[in-house]
Structure 1
């Protein structure tokens, strides 16, 4: 603390306060100051810094409080205000959004829609248009591939005009165009396996209603893997099918594993035909369980393989 008067130089005390001293005031310069006077001295208080942050003898917060209490001073009167630079830095940080939680923008996908680009190629529902989703979420079998597949099956089955009556299993159904084509050409019942509920309710079922085949259809809204593992539970009774179509999304399946799962299941019988659509560069086996590959066609980047019983291969050669 500094005590000043017109005739005496400033004297520092432990609190480093500058206080004007009246000439009539008696001063005791002991280690701790004591000011006494008959007249009340005028004391002008200013901001006091007990110790700077860079000082080696810096006092702790508790020591500062004890020192203020010892001399009957209010600590709030001596707290230094934040510097102008610090205040500006804080304001600038608030303007720039510091300390605020980041705002996560949710990108909403546009609503899914459908259009009518497909059609039934033959049979009872020939030339009827079918719905399909807009975009690449569902990739229907190309009509040229579908037409070739059914032509091969009809010839191999010994009835070029139509399919042999039987049950069809349509794996990865999507638009149901393959299964509907089978019903239109003579199949008695088709089981559709499609995992996407939106496709089932907005594409597959409307197509079955439009073509009049809803009563001859069974829809399983599950994954193909789940269906193959629990075929007995889903189908019940006789699980063997006369025809099985496999049209998966190209890049999302391992064809080797998938074909082994199908051939090892109870879905395949000795007289079953299996239609497989696969991409260019995929190696397909010459047999699938007890069935032989009776056809393998290429349509651009798309390949079509058909497996069937040995007797169908002989009929195909004769035809």
Structure 2
């Protein structure tokens, strides 16, 4: 895995050795960024954005954002086998000043009111076995952590039938291999 574009283009992203982590593949990541840049369905700018990367794993999405000019990325991860790799990737790409790693379990001890700023983009890449993400979407709304014109991007298994919160509108859905990418806004 590598950074696809921006000031860190071509630099390596270290991956975990275990099979429990499934990093975002380069082709899928490139497709996500092509949609972010070229779509007319929503208006989110990568440059100078504030990004929340939930279930960040090795940080592939958030690091790509930083390489492309995002102002700041908050990584949230609690899996001990991948945390050192995430931190190593941030250090090797020299993004320590533009990022924060929160070692939190998103469902058990992440209090969404700890975020002191709103996000332009929230990327969620939960484990495929996770059956419901509606509670996360509800928390995003309840704590008002997404900017009014912000976007939520969700990486899921293409066969997963998620129940989304009632005010979450899917504006784009793409499938790549076994993955699907959902782009949504709150109305």
TM-score using structure 2 length:
0.87
2:112 corresponds to which residue?
231
Give the Cα separation in 2 of the matches to 1:288 and 1:138. 30
Question: Partner of 2:172: helix, strand, or coil?
Answer: strand
Give the match for residue 93 of structure 2. Answer: 211
| Unmatched 5+ stretches in structure 1 | 1-117, 311-319
State whether residues 286 and 293 of structure 1, in contact with CA within 8 Å, keep that contact through their aligned partners in structure 2.
no
1:124 equivalent to 2:7? Answer: yes
Shift of 1:158: 5.6
User: Aligned Cα RMSD in Å?
Assistant: 2.3
Deviations 1:242-293 (A, max 9, x none): 110000110034233333333333222311111101112223467763x532
State how far apart, in whole Å, the 2-side matches of 1:199 and 1:279 are: 21
More displaced 10-residue stretch of structure 1: 269-278 or 167-176: 269-278
Task: Tell me how far apart the structure 2 counterparts of residues 192 and 257 of structure 1 sit (CA, whole Å).
Answer: 19
Question: Is 1:264 aligned to 2:147, yes or no?
Answer: no
Contiguous gaps of at least 5 residues in structure 2 = none
Shift of 1:296: 0.2
Work out the number of aligned pairs and report it. Answer: 185
Alignment of 1:295 with 2:172, yes or no, is: yes
Cα distance between partner residues in 2 of 1:251 and 1:209:
30
- After superposition, the Cα gap between the structure-2 partners of 1:122 and 1:288, relative to the gap in structure 1 and judged at 3 Å, is farther
Structure with the bigger RCO (C-alpha within 8 Å, sep 6+) is: 2
Larger Rg: 1
Give, in whole Å, the separation in 1 of the partners of 2:165 and 2:47: 22
What is the match of residue 220 of structure 1? 102
Tell me the SS of whatever aligns to 2:82.
helix
Kept after mapping to 1: 8 A contact 2:132/2:163: no
The residue that corresponds to 2:75 in the other structure is 192
More helix by percentage:
1
